[in-house]
């Protein structure tokens, strides 16, 4: 079955009907088949929709179609001819979902537990949460010098236990491993005004937290797709406009963020055109101590956000 702009490929089980949980996975260039294979090892009451957001790679698409066909539960492969972006792509995924709860997973994730899906189904059955975040880890990520900076920064700020995340529930909401109840998403979809990389999931969490509680649980998945330092810097450079959009929508919340407070201080520092590039150069220097590189990269990100505060 196809629509004009969304060629679809369903596996044999798709016609079986509604499952308890819809797993929703977008990808753009990354290969989601290791994740599909890992999920496929759990034969439980779920369905899966994977969306190619305009990759344009026929070889990769063939591998994904083959992986979808092999899954033991209902699965659909959606291909977009052009990239629509992170927020709109996830909204498009929801349009294909049939269950009462959605589990958003990034395509470069890999479940840490053997009963990852069953554990999420247990959360749904016992607590029926409006929103829940399972957390992510670096447990299965290879140690490589090129990705050492990303590993250090993510381990410090993102790879947190449920108890730590629950102290500021809305701040730690990412689509890497996110459970959402259907009625919540029907009221609060992702803001399609975001472009490029960053902040669309955090902003969504801020909106949702005004109306519903956010549960944090320890049901982690590994983030395999660590970035090089240069890719991190490029993503931060893309994200400045998105950060400004979040400030406009949630000024009181963002004012509590360290990146905002540091950006406010740096706004009045002279000669920004000299020291901001120097921060980036140092952060990219693989031979420098990792802690000082991470500090430089955080300062560089805050310096980029100066224009938004």
> What gap in Å lies between CA 70 and CA 228, rounded to an integer?
33
pTM, whole model, 2 decimals? Answer: 0.92
Residue 125 lies in domain: 8-226
Domain tally, the chain: 2
- Cβ burial of 211 (10 Å; 0-12, 13-18, 19+) is exposed
Same domain? For 129 and 216 the reply is yes
Cα 104 to Cα 93, 180, 254, 258: the distances in Å are 9, 8, 24, 27
Is the domain of 164 the same as that of 57? Answer: yes
- Residue 136, classed as helix, strand or coil, is strand
Q: Are strands 46-53 and 21-27 parallel, antiparallel or unpaired?
A: parallel
- Note whether 183 and 39 are same-domain residues: yes
Domain at 62, CATH number? 3.90.550.10
The answer on 253 and 138 residing in a single domain is no
Q: How far is it, in rounded angstroms, from Cα 276 to Cα 43?
A: 51
Strand partners, 179: 103, 132
Same domain, 303 and 154: no
**What pLDDT is attached to residue 130?**
97
**Which two structure tokens, joined as six digits, stand for 96?**
């294909």
| 79 beta partners | 52
With cut-offs at 50, 70 and 90, classify the pLDDT of residue 2: very low
Residue where a domain stops, chosen among 183, 201, 226: 226
Cβ atoms of 79 and 52 within 8 Å: the answer is yes
Looking at the fold, whether 149 and 247 belong to one and the same domain comes out as: no
- For residues 23 and 175, give the distance between their C-alpha atoms in angstroms, rounded to a whole number: 12
Whether 7 and 65 have beta carbons less than 8 Å apart is answered as no
State which of 166, 194, 226 marks the end of a domain.
226
Question: CA nearest 40: which of 117, 123, 113?
Answer: 117
> Based on the domain organization, do 113 and 219 belong to the same domain?
yes
Nearest to 194 by CA among 248, 232, 131: 248
d(Cα 160, Cα 17) in Å, to the nearest integer?
A: 36
Render pLDDT for 72-112 as a digit per residue (tens, 0 to 9): 999 999 999 898 888 899 999 999 999 999 999 999 999 99
Given pLDDT bands bounded at 50, 70 and 90, which one contains residue 1?
very low
Nearest CA to 191 out of 102, 85, 106 is that of 85
Indicate whether 3 pLDDT > 80: no
Q: How confident is the model at residue 8 (pLDDT cuts 50, 70, 90)?
A: confident
Among the three residues 202, 226, 250, which one is the final residue of a domain in this structure?
226
At 168-223, the pLDDT tens digits run: 898 889 999 999 999 999 999 998 888 778 888 889 999 999 999 999 999 999 99
Token pair 């492969």 is at which residue?
77
- Residue 5 pLDDT: 60
Please report whether residue 2 resides in a domain: no
Q: Check whether residue 32 and residue 165 sit in a common domain.
A: yes
Whole-number Å distance between alpha carbons of 95 and 74 = 16
Tell me the C-alpha to C-alpha distance, in Å, between residue 36 and each of 47, 83, 259, 273.
Answer: 12, 21, 35, 45
């Amino acid at each position: 079955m196809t629509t004009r702009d969304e060629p679809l490929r369903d596996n044999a089980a798709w016609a079986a009907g509604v499952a308890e949980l819809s797993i929703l996975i977008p990808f753009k260039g990354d290969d989601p088949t290791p994740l599909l294979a890992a999920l496929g090892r759990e034969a439980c009451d779920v369905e899966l929709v994977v969306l190619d957001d305009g990759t344009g790679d026929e070889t990769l698409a063939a591998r994904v179609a083959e992986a979808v066909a092999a899954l033991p539960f209902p699965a659909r492969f959606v291909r977009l001819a052009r990239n629509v972006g992170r927020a709109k792509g996830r909204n498009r995924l929801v349009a294909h979902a049939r269950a009462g709860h959605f589990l958003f997973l990034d395509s470069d994730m890999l479940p840490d537990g053997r009963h990852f899906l069953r554990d999420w189904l247990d959360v749904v059955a016992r607590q029926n949460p409006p929103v829940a975040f399972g957390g992510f880890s670096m447990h299965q990520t290879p140690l490589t010098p090129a990705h050492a900076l990303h590993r250090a920064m993510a381990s410090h700020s993102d790879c947190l236990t449920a108890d730590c995340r629950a102290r500021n529930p809305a701040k730690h909401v990412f689509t890497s491993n996110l459970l959402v109840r259907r009625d919540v998403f029907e009221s609060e979809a992702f803001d399609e005004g975001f472009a490029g990389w960053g902040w669309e999931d955090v902003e969504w969490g801020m909106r949702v937290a005004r109306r519903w509680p956010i549960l944090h649980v320890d049901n982690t998945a590994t983030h395999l797709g660590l970035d090089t330092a240069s890719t991190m810097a490029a993503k931060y450079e893309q994200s400045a406009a998105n950060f400004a959009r979040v400030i406009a929508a949630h000024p009181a919340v963002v004012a509590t963020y360290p990146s905002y407070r540091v950006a406010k201080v740096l706004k009045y520092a002279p000669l920004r055109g000299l020291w901001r590039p120097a921060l980036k150069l140092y952060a990219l220097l693989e031979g420098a101590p990792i802690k000082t590189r991470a500090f430089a990269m955080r300062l560089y990100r805050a310096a980029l956000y100066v224009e938004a505060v």
